[in-house]
Copies of this chain bind each other. A is one copy, B any other.
Amino acid sequence: MSLIVQKYGGTSVGDIDRIKNVAQRVKETYEAGNQLIVVVSARSGVTNELVARARELDPNPNEREMDMLMSVGEQETIALTAMALHAIGVPAVSRTGMQAGIMTDPAHTRARITEISGGDLKEQLDAGKVVILAGFQGHSNDGQITTLGRGGSDLSAIAIAAAVEADLCQIYTDVDGVYTADPRVVADAIKLDSISYEEMLELASAGSKVMQNRAVEFAQKYNIIFEVRSSFNNNPGTIVKEEAASMEDVVVSGVAIDKNQAKIVVSDLPDRPGTAAKLFQALGAAGISVDMIVQNIGREGKANLTFTVAREDISRAQKAVTESFPDEAAGKLFEASDIAKVSVVGVGMRSHSGVAARLFQALAEDGVNIQLVSTSEIKISVGIEPDDAEKAARVIHIAFKLNK
């Protein structure tokens, strides 16, 4: 008998038939003699509906009340999922985040888990019940409902798996696992059998939206092995785990595209120490994530800074930049243009030189102009014309023999 945590996302429980489908899957695992904790998200669409309703009342809704509001999505799903299981003869009981003792800090709408008591989960499991747990939500130590932010249900699943020392943690989603590239772009993309936490993290930050980083980071920290797989078929998924020796043989595990980037060039900044710091401090204070950064030499005594941000942050970035240099003409030249980021990721990169060279050559041969480059230990990203993104991904996929 194993103790298994399964997590089903919003599309997997999107309507009554899909909830029945989830129940059937849970039943199979249960009847194979396992103990199960099932973490579910809100039905897809529900969260957006609730946000829309809130914004109609208050464009800047209070975060504590947002958590009170948002947490109803998962509470609905846990009750419905438990009922669906009862209907097919599986004993099940639902638990809110608060009832399962998922304690967080009081940072509403983006709370961090501080402790998990589990409430009576173990007793319920030992009594033969499947426990249906609301993802995404917890409670602060003064009894307020909190939520964990985007992708929070993945985090709930990984964290509860750690807390109960589960034998297996399965993240069910609407894709079959982690691919060498987006199969919609690269037709012969291959599903990976396994991937390291680090690669998974770099892929996510490179625009491959299988899972949010916080859950993966948490899994890495507590060494929770998990599987990403589809709730719509029985194909094995991708196992995410600590880097294995054999992984290093593979130089590049995958290629990811993020088309939602903007390149910003700020010209005519004073060329003296502290200018860049001041600029990026201002962007940080405005809550804007900056990705790639390049400093060019500009005109006499002036510096140009080039960096990328998410496209929706352009106007806030402009505001932050102009406000941080109010007394001078400097930094007033602000140009933004759309850009796509294409990244190759792989732990094998560490021990193999020439990855960048092979990447640049492949792109050059296909006439793709590189505007920006940034690298991490296991990732190389290039900023290119958005129209070139798909072509670049296919070229790279071939260059690194990812289809083999």
A residues near B (Cβ < 8 Å) are 16, 19-20, 50, 53-54, 56-58, 61-62, 64-66, 68-69, 71-72, 75-76, 78-80, 82-84, 86-87, 93-94, 96, 99, 119, 143-145
A20 to chain B: closest residue by CB = B57
Q: Which residues of B contact A87 (CB under 8 A)?
A: 57-58
- B69 pairs with A72, CB closer than 8 A: no
Interface of A is mostly: helix
A19 to B53 alpha-carbon distance, docked (Å):
11
Q: Which residues of B contact A56 (CB under 8 A)?
A: 16
Within the complex, the shortest CB–CB distance from A99 to chain B, in Å, comes to: 6
Assess A79 versus B65: contact at CB under 8 Å? Given A16-B53, A99-B143: yes
- A84 pairs with B58, CB closer than 8 A: yes
Within the complex, the shortest CB–CB distance from A60 to chain B, in Å, comes to: 9
Q: List 12 A-B contacts (CB under 8 A).
A: A16-B53, A20-B57, A50-B76, A64-B93, A65-B94, A66-B79, A68-B78, A69-B75, A69-B79, A72-B76, A96-B145, A119-B143
Q: Which residues of B contact A93 (CB under 8 A)?
A: 64-65
Q: Which residues of B contact A16 (CB under 8 A)?
A: 53, 56-57
A82 to B69 alpha-carbon distance, docked (Å):
10
- A57 pairs with B75, CB closer than 8 A: no
- Sort A-B residue pairs by CB-CB distance and give the 5 closest, nearest first: A69-B79, A72-B72, A58-B87, A68-B79, A58-B83
A66, A79, A82: residue with the most chain B Cβ atoms closer than 10 Å: A79
A99 to chain B: closest residue by CB = B143
Known pairs A58-B87, A75-B75. 19 more at Cβ < 8 A? A16-B53, A16-B56, A16-B57, A20-B57, A50-B76, A54-B80, A57-B84, A57-B87, A62-B82, A64-B93, A65-B83, A66-B79, A68-B79, A69-B75, A69-B76, A71-B75, A72-B72, A99-B143, A119-B143
Q: Which residues of B contact A57 (CB under 8 A)?
A: 16, 19-20, 80, 83-84, 87
A105 to B283 alpha-carbon distance, docked (Å):
54
Within the complex, the shortest CB–CB distance from A165 to chain B, in Å, comes to: 24
Q: Which residues of B contact A58 (CB under 8 A)?
A: 83-84, 86-87
Q: Which residues of B contact A78 (CB under 8 A)?
A: 68
Q: Which residues of B contact A54 (CB under 8 A)?
A: 79-80, 83
Q: Which residues of B contact A61 (CB under 8 A)?
A: 83, 86
Contact of A62 among B19, B50, B83, B145 (CB under 8 A): B83
Within the complex, the shortest CB–CB distance from A22 to chain B, in Å, comes to: 11
A19 to B58 alpha-carbon distance, docked (Å):
12
A145 to chain B: closest residue by CB = B96
A72, A76, A78: residue with the most chain B Cβ atoms closer than 10 Å: A76
A68 to B77 alpha-carbon distance, docked (Å):
10
Contact of A53 among B64, B80, B86 (CB under 8 A): B80
Within the complex, the shortest CB–CB distance from A283 to chain B, in Å, comes to: 29
A79 to B144 alpha-carbon distance, docked (Å):
13
